[in-house]
A and B are shown apart, each in its own frame.
Chain A
Amino acid sequence: MNENTIDSQQSQSDMQALRSLGRDKHSLSGSRSGGVLVLALIAVVVAASLSVAFLQLSTSVTRRQVQSQDDKASFYMAEAGLAEAFCGMMQGKTGEVGSEESPAAYGDGLFWVEVVDLGDNLVRLDSTGMIGSGSAVLSLVAERGTTNVASLGVYSEQAMAIPPGSQLDAFDSRLGSYATQEANLLAIVDDLLGGLLLGGGSAQEAETPDVPDARVGSSAGVSITGTDALPTVIRGNVVAGPNETVEQNGDVSISGSIETASGTTTLPVVVVPTLAQSRSILHEARTPLLIQSGSAHVPTLQAANGTQIVLEGPSTVVIDRLLLGTSSSLTLDTTEGPVELYVTQELTAGSDSSIITSTQDPTAFSLQIAGTPATPVQLPSGGPIFGFIYAPEAKLILPSGMELHGGIIGDELEFLGPVSLHFDQYLADMSELSSLPSYINWRLVEISQDLKGGVLGLSPFERLGVAQGALRSPSQSHADQWIDIEYLDGASALQSFSGMESAFDWNQVKETKELERDGAQVPKNSRDDLLLKSALDDPVRLLEVNGVTASAEKRAALIASSPLSRVSLSRMMESDNPMDSPDVLAVLNANAPLEQEVIYTATTSGALNSTDLLTLLLGNSPGLGGPILTALSGRGTPLSIGQIATVLLAQ
């Protein structure tokens, strides 16, 4: 029993010792002394600081690289703008693309191009491109293409009547003479017909010839007549003026198209060079008179009957009066260069007189007649003439049997008999080239960075405050677009127009029916927007577009929009849906003081009755101008003598 007790006591003692040891261990671990946490914190702080430093460095480097990329991208964006604008100019547009308020969207960036007219047919295109944080401005100076009418071929402003037996066709002077090309064509056709024409197979291969088309046109109607004995052949196209027709009577053959022009053609006036004036020349000797190459202004150049005058090229000669006697000739020696001849007052060619060129190159001779001579220009019957004759304000008389290789344009062409006119395709090609704009100068204006609002800057859309989705593409952003429109005008008549939008007057449009811009259909909502946009500046037009007809409603709206411009007030008084006279008077009084032109319109238009007109005139007296006072008696509803006297006394 005692041993068990001792053992038990020993084991209890051991257990207590163990427990105390355990408690000591626990005490050791529970005391939690030491600096590891501090060390860990220090290490974390150091690591974090280094990370922040590296991040800042990395961000700075990235920012510089992005800026550099944005600069370059902006440069190319601006170049894209210049290219788009120049392409537009080649299509006859103004070159203006978008604006700062409504730029063209292109990829992740945008651009717009402004046009500055420098005069002398020069324009400056300023293109601003923006992408990312960069922006660049480039400037290009271009010369607009000149209007060259040589491609019109045979053309007159007035109606043209082509007589029986005439032949109008075309050739290409670069490929040889007209005679050579005609012979070749005939041989080819004969070969195709198995020798029916020339009585035997020819050596020519039966290739389809690429024959140019003649160009015959007028701003008015074209009438072509032929008979069985004298058929008329036109190997080409005929174009009548807008709303005009091409009339064919009898035996007439037209190989090309017959069309009606969609727009009018404006013939530019002849610009006569200013040259030092020399003495007049009357040549009577039998030996030819040689006028050497150079420039000269001859008041009168007269060749007596049977004499010859030779103009040596290259030369530019201005002649006020060119008089060719019977059987005389004017020879143009274009061997060494072209001859440009300007006639300013009179050109008279006697019978059997002629204009001869030493070479058969139509591009080497031009005859331009400035202004409207006192008498129609009688062209010589001798020839053929190789050259281009241009008389936009003169009547040209083509004698029977006249043959011309080149082109002829006049205000009016009168044919005294059958003629042979052969249009030179080379003139058309040269004309199209000169109508293109040419590049003069380029410069870099500015490349800058805009870092508004952030480390990497705002997008260009945010910088300009525009919504990217609302912007149009570059091709749609041209200020000038080709439009095909059907619309109702102010009188609710259906009208149509095709041409550049800059030539179209939106003021005449009451409602659009169909609209295509650059070949793309414009939805109705957008058409209405265009119409409204054009009317926004004019409250009177806005009322018309919105269909407001009640006089009182118009009065309230116009008084609220006052002051109105002179144009708006005039439109109000000349409207097809006139307001009541008292309402008109109220609007006019709300816009006092009135300009003289407005008072004159009020006097002559009939928008005011006599009583209201008298009130208006007395309210604007004294100071009424002479035209107004004169118009008092000429009104549709004239004022009474007493009323006129009252107005006169008030002055």
Chain B
Amino acid sequence: MHSRSGLSLIELMIVIALLAIVSVKAGMVMNSAGESQSRNSAAIDLEDQSRRVLDRIAYAVMGSDRDTLFPDPESPTFTTVLSYAVSLGVEDGEIVWDDPEEIALSPASAQVVWRKKPDAPDERRVAWCNLVRPFLEGELPNGLDDNGNGLIDEQGLSFVLERNAVTIRMSLEDQIDSENTLIQTVETTVTIRN
């Protein structure tokens, strides 16, 4: 008898079809996992970035003098610009203050901008982060306190002063694709040490 090696056409087509189905399924799973990983990664990055910037702002404000904080809006109003001076220590019995600094929201570029010696010829300027929302999460520009935090129409970066404490709120928004948007809101209250 002759040996029957090889595959018939039907068998081959069936195998190809099965392989195609498995591959497509595997691809869909991989794609889904990849998208999920990408979203999680983006969310973690956004949270990480927002926390870092918040900590940076907090450390800067902590070492300032309450009398140098400007503007000075007591709660329930807020400001998106905070001017202050940080202590460099004590020399000859007197406190030495660094050059004035400013942290402000730049709505046009959606950035938190830090400036040293603002408006001076030798001004230093650093963008601490991008992706700042125009308004805090849950807040709409309608003259109402939509998110119930006691502030009206507060912007993506806001400072509220209450005696020796500053509450800093910030919302970042990242459009990861046409359908998905990530929003991260962080808030902290720091006590001014000087």
Contacts and interface: CB of A to CB of B under 8 A. Distances in A.
A443 B86 contact: yes
A513 B62 CA distance: 49
Interface string B82-100: 0000111110010100000
B59 interface: yes
Interface residues of B, number: 25
B52 interface: yes
Contacts of A54: 37
Interface stretch (B1-9, B121-129, B174-182): B1-9
Interface string B68-91: 000000000000000000111110
A141 interface: yes
Nearest to B26: A43
B193 A61 contact: no
B62 A139 contact: no
A119 B62 CA distance: 26
B33 to A, nearest CB: 8
A645 B95 CA distance: 65
Contacts of B44: 61, 65
Nearest to A50: B30
Nearest to B193: A442
A561 interface: no
A24 B4 contact: yes
B62 A65 contact: no
A552 interface: no
B32 interface: no
Interface string B169-194: 00000000000000000000000011
A20 B63 CA distance: 94
A50 B30 CA distance: 10
Contact of A124 (B3, B86, B89): B89
Interface string B1-32: 10111000000000000000000000000100
B90 A440 contact: yes
Contacts of A57: 37, 41
A452 interface: no
B3 A24 contact: yes
A443 B55 contact: no
Contacts of B117: none
A508 interface: no
Given A21-B1, A443-B88, A64 B93 contact: no
Contacts of A124: 89-90
Contacts of B52: 68
Contacts of B162: none
B115 interface: no
B35 interface: no
Interface string A115-156: 000111010100000000000000101000000000000000
Given A444-B59, A444-B63, A64 B48 contact: yes
Given A57-B41, A443-B63, A443-B88, A24 B193 contact: no
B51 interface: yes
A304 B61 CA distance: 63
Contact of A442 (B3, B37, B87): B87
A122 B93 CA distance: 7
Interface string B42-60: 0011001001100100010
Given A118-B90, A440-B90, A442-B193, A28 B4 contact: yes
B55 A441 contact: no
Contacts of B63: 442-444
B55 A71 contact: yes
A71 B30 CA distance: 36
A440 B65 CA distance: 11
A16 to B, nearest CB: 11
A20 B93 contact: no
Nearest to B3: A24
A278 interface: no
A311 B59 CA distance: 52
A31 interface: yes
Most A CB atoms within 10 A — which of B44, B90, B95? B90
A254 interface: no
B166 to A, nearest CB: 15
Given A68-B48, A120-B93, A441 B87 contact: yes
A118 B52 CA distance: 34
A24 B48 CA distance: 66
A637 interface: no
A576 B45 CA distance: 74
A80 to B, nearest CB: 15
A441 B89 contact: yes
B137 to A, nearest CB: 21
A440 B48 contact: no
Contacts of B45: 61
A17 interface: yes
Interface in A274-319: none
B194 A72 contact: no
Given A441-B87, A442-B63, A442-B193, A27 B93 contact: no
B89 A27 contact: no
A28 B48 contact: no
Contacts of A68: 48, 51-52, 55
Interface of A: 17, 20-21, 24, 27-28, 31, 33, 50, 54, 57, 61, 64-65, 68, 71-72, 75, 118-120, 122, 124, 139, 141, 440-444, 447
27 contacts: A20-B1, A24-B3, A24-B4, A28-B5, A54-B37, A57-B37, A57-B41, A61-B41, A61-B44, A64-B48, A65-B44, A72-B55, A75-B59, A120-B93, A122-B90, A124-B89, A124-B90, A139-B89, A141-B89, A141-B95, A440-B95, A441-B95, A442-B62, A442-B63, A443-B193, A443-B194, A444-B59
Task: List 3 A-B pairs, minimum CB-CB distance, nearest first.
Answer: A442-B193, A141-B90, A443-B87
Given A31-B5, A141-B89, 12 more contacts: A28-B4, A33-B5, A50-B30, A54-B37, A64-B48, A118-B90, A122-B93, A440-B90, A441-B89, A442-B63, A443-B86, A443-B89
